[in-house]
Amino acid sequence: MLTSIKITGLQTYGYHGLFEEERTLGQKFSFDITIALREVRTHLSDDLDSSVRYDAVVDEAVRIAASDKFQTLEALGETIALGLLRRFTIMDSITVAVAKSSPPIAHSIEQVGVQVSLRRADLVLGQDEIAGV
């Protein structure tokens, strides 16, 4: 059985962005996280060993987002995806969408964002290969 978990609308305040003002003043970021779990035969045992605690995923994503200041949303999203895959071995793949609501752009924009997807198989590659270096 294939199972996906969706966490949508996670909001946190962070100090990420290209410009120094963004990294000093901070702004609101929102995250949507989609997780594909490792294949299981059934969930009828109602056992958490075949799933993951949603609150633990949220707490870890927020912790990772606050652990550093990133210039790009891409680096922020990839760091969260890597951290979650490493922490929760039940995850087979993950997609992290990151958006900021107040981009320093001289036009009316509701949000800008990115989406990063990784598979557990990507973790066996070296960091340089993942980063495309």
pLDDT score of 21: 85
Specify whether 100 is catalytic. Answer: yes
Q: Say how far apart CA 6 and CA 114 lie, in whole Å.
A: 17
pTM (2 decimals)?
A: 0.88
pLDDT at 50: 85
**What local confidence, expressed as pLDDT, does residue 126 receive?**
56
Q: What is the mean pLDDT of each run of 10 residues along the chain (133 residues)?
A: 96 90 89 96 86 96 96 96 96 97 80 95 66 47
CA–CA distance, 83 with 129 (Å, rounded to integer) = 17
CB of 13 closer than 8 Å to CB of 26: yes
Between CA 101 and CA 64 the distance in angstroms is 20
The whole-number pLDDT of residue 128 equals 46
Catalytic pick from 6, 28, 69, 100?
A: 100
**pLDDT per position as a tens digit, 15-50:** 998 888 888 888 999 999 999 999 988 888 888 888
Tokens, residue 24? 């000093």
| Residue of 123, 125, 34 lying closest to 86 (CA atoms) | 123
> What's the confidence (pLDDT) of residue 81?
98
